[in-house]
Amino acid sequence: MSRVKVKRRIPSPKDLAQLLKFQKFILNPTKRRLSKALTIYDLRNIAKRRTPQAPFDYTDGGADTESSLTRARDAYEKLEFQPKILLNVKDVDISVKMLGKNASMPIGIAPTGFTRMMQTEGEYAGACAASDAGIPFTLSTMGTRSIEDVAKAAPDGRNWFQLYMWKDRDRSMALVDRAKAAGFDTLVLTVDVPVAGARLRDVRNGMTIPPSLTAKTILNAIPRPAWWINFLTTDPLKFASLDSWNGTVAELLDSMFDPTITYEDLKWIRGQWQGNLVVKGIQNVDDAVKSIEAGANAIILSNHGGRQLDRAPVPLYLLPEVLKAVGNKGEVHVDTGIMHGADVVAALATGAKFTWIGRAYLYGLMAGGKPGVDKALEIMRMQIIRTMKLLGARTVAELNPDHVRFIARYSDK
């Protein structure tokens, strides 16, 4: 067997110059941080470093054992895509028409409470980023900017308002009237909070509204001075729905929200609101059908991000049964556990009309304010496009159940 001897040489300066390419240093610290984030989990890691434990855990955690959140994530992790090949996917259109209007991509920002505790820009960052991205933003009843402030910050955005029915019905409907006057075109009624879930991280952290300065929080704040500087040097928390509160999150929810609300109330709200009405928190087929029959234009299959009932149904698994029962009588949307553009594609292929993200955008917010939210949405957008191309789908309408297969459901079998 012959052997070929490899000839060696001394590299020339020109050869070395082609290999030695240094990355340009980014002066802006926020841009520098965000430039390293390739996934939502990268943003989560940045957020955890920059945010005190109590507000971070409020975002990151679920109820009780957090199994509802874990199982929702597992549903996306354990499914299998079924790609189709030899299709022209040079150009991919991820826009959708949802409740009569176009969205640039099939995700929206879900309602999140106390958002300015995560990062001082709060709802302004979410609403403006959503407006720039061409997707809807939902202001929570428990938001930390007023309805009017959000409308002023994002006047060209598609702004929605999420309503919790209070024990004081007049105050609840006063919020609805304000949302209508501010140009919000859709009302989202959340129906899965007759009582606050057992959010044990919040209890262990002593999470209060506003945050309390204890020995523990002061020690936790030492390596995170930027958060506290922003919190203490900007205007005090202003809620969308109340003047002030001093106590825990659970105490606030239990004191305000009405556990007696029924389908008759849903019908009554339908009569009070002329715009689109969405019911959020559907967790079984019967309630999906009843909500549409009571006047909802769309429903959101959701277990509240795993923050209410432990061992709750997985929205993605519930989707096919609900679609079969609802038919074309109303739109079916999905949230909970969506952390990647591939999750969005999986939900759409399974039959969802639209998807919603909460934690995914809040991690971006905590990582870098409005630019961080922009980054989160851009990451999701690119992941959606890449996944669709790899599946052989050029439009959202081409996605169908043939593209996904559930290889495990609630178990490792």
Specify the pairing of strand 404-406 against strand 79-81.
antiparallel
- Give the H/E segment covering residue 385: helix 359-391
Which backbone phi and psi does 2 adopt, to 5 degrees?
A: -80, 150
| Cα–Cα distance list, 161 to 97, 172, 185, 234, 279 (Å) | 19, 12, 8, 25, 12
To the nearest 10 degrees (0 to 180), the angle between helices 315-326 and 67-78 is 80
Max CA-CA distance within the chain? 93
CA separation for the pair 177, 399 (Å, rounded): 38
Q: Tell me the one-letter amino acid at 371.
A: P
Output the DSSP codes for 293-338.
HTT-SEEEE--GGGTSSTTPPPHHHHHHHHHHHHTTSSEEEE-SS-
Q: Return the bridge partners of 208, or none.
A: 248
Which residues are marked as active site?
A: 304
The first and second tokens of residue 36, run together, are 């390293």
The first and second tokens of residue 37, run together, are 């984030």
Please tell me whether the peptide bond between 210 and the residue prior to it is cis, using omega within 30 degrees of 0: yes
Q: Looking at 96-241, which runs of residues are DSSP E strands? A: 96-98, 101-103, 107-109, 137-139, 159-163, 186-190, 208-209
CA separation for the pair 122, 352 (Å, rounded): 28
- Residue 141 makes CB contacts below 8 A (sequence gap 6+) with 111, 113, 161, 162, 163, 164, 175, 240, 241
To the nearest 10 degrees (0 to 180), the angle between helices 359-391 and 341-350 is 70
Q: Looking at 261-330, which runs of residues are DSSP E strands? A: 276-282, 298-301
CA separation for the pair 39, 253 (Å, rounded): 33
